[in-house]
Amino acid sequence: MFSHLIRALGLFLLLQAQVAGAHSIEAEGRAAIVGNDLASARRHAILDATEQASLQAAAYISVTQQVNNGVLEVDNLHMGALGTVSNVQVISEERQGHWLLVRIRADIETEQGCSNGSGHAYRNHVAVTAFPLLHPLQANLGRLDGIESALPALLAQALDHNPNLQSHDASHYSLMQNPATAPTRQLSDASLSNLAPDAGQLGVQYLVSGVIRDLSMASPAIHGEQNQLKHWYNRLRTQDARYLRTLELELYVHDALTGALLLRRPYRTEELWNLPQHEATGFDTAAFWEQDFGRATRQLVNRISSDIGEHLACQPFRAEILRVENDRVWFRAGRSDGIARGDRLSLYRLEHSFGTTLANTRQTLIVDDVQGTTASGTFAVLGEQVNIQRGDMVVAH
């Protein structure tokens, strides 16, 4: 009963901390003593106590412990969904038969987390593919036909400034079979699907694509005036709403493993097109960016980049398993992706019974060797006992 009251109090304090920013809490946990190994039991009891303090807040927890002046402390225990736990101290410890009970006190500095409880610090790989034009003739004014690949290339550059993403320019590759019906496509059996075709072949976790649905002038006739006197008369007048040009596109983000559509969002901007009708400006040129329309385009790209970053920050991190030998697993992610020694990742089997799905093995991989782009670690049982093999995944939520 007392334990339940403590846990309820912990929830109350955590909710208050989300408003106030930081708070000190107490909680208790327990773990079985196996083979008289008190150190392991203590470590697991601390984990249990911290998890109880968060009251199943979907936090990912990792522990580093040390003894300081006779007090067991835990430094920088990270809870992805709630924030950072610091100053963790074991204030009491009691052995009851085969169980070890501990009581902790900790400070929690809360952060605004994801609604799904996700909160890792790894770099997801994302490929930005082509954005085809729904109406290609609209690009003739200013010779902007290169926008289909140049705009996603700019977006890939903007995404690369996000510390949680590693972007890849795949603007030469188009996911969309038919821009008019994107992202829906018709399968060989005549059924319709929003799944991305051949999503996994680019070797990334997430795919960004889109369709440019409108690139028109508000008054197309203003640049199509055949009477040269009228044309130059219009050019000499102060430019008004007739010279507005629209850039409207629809953005799609797919899961590269399953092909599932994760995000679909429209964007639109319009601004003055300042140049004469016969000037071949081109997209992504100095003359283009000097225009009002060019500046509005850059702002739109930056806004899209920010939205993608916010959305993918709440998506799981996954890396492909390259090799399994007994209890050791090598996977395709390393120092450049934010992997570090001591990290704890979940092992998932890749299944294809009904599409592509991931099955949680309930096994945790503890990383102990990290290279530039690969890493390895061990888990509690042999690989064949949980049927983990090459092509399966390590996952962090």
Count Cβ atoms below 10 Å from residue 48 Cβ, excluding itself.
20
367: left (phi over 0), alpha (psi -120 to 50) or beta: beta
- Count of helices and strands (H, E) across the chain: 6, 19
**Four-residue CA torsion sign, 198, 204, 205, 206:** negative
DSSP class of residue 303 equals H
CA distances from 347 to 80, 315, 351, 374, 394 (A): 18, 17, 13, 16, 5
Tell me if residue 113 falls in helix, strand or coil: coil
DSSP class of residue 47 equals H
pLDDT at 93: 92
User: What tens-digit pLDDT sequence spans the chain (397 residues)?
Assistant: 444 444 444 444 444 434 445 567 787 888 888 888 888 888 888 877 776 665 433 333 434 344 455 454 443 344 444 455 567 788 899 998 888 998 888 776 655 556 545 567 899 999 999 999 999 999 999 999 999 999 999 999 999 999 999 999 999 998 888 899 888 876 655 556 666 666 667 889 999 999 999 999 988 776 655 555 555 555 555 566 788 999 999 999 999 888 889 999 999 999 998 887 778 899 999 999 998 999 999 999 999 999 999 999 888 899 999 999 988 999 999 999 999 999 989 899 988 776 678 888 888 899 999 999 999 999 876 656 678 899 999 998 7
pLDDT at 227: 55
Integer Cα distance of 213 and 62 in angstroms: 46
Question: Crossing angle for the helix pair 38-54 and 2-20, nearest 10 degrees?
Answer: 60
**Is 256 buried (19+), middle (13-18) or exposed (0-12) by CB count in 10 A?**
buried
Structure tokens belonging to residue 108: 């929690």
pLDDT at 331: 96
User: Contacts for 240-244 with beta carbons within 8 Å, 24 or more apart?
Assistant: 242/218, 243/217, 243/218, 243/219, 243/272, 243/273, 243/274, 244/217, 244/218, 244/270, 244/271, 244/272, 244/273
Domains and CATH numbers, the chain: 2-110 (3.30.1660.40), 124-312 (3.40.50.10610), 317-396 (2.40.10.410)
For residue 132, whether the previous peptide bond is cis, meaning omega lies within 30 degrees of 0, is no
Q: Residue holding tokens 């100095």?
A: 286
Per-position DSSP letters for 335-369, written without gaps between them: GGGT--TT-EEEEEEEE-TTSSEEEEEEEEEEEEE
Tell me if residue 179 falls in helix, strand or coil: coil
pLDDT at 177: 80
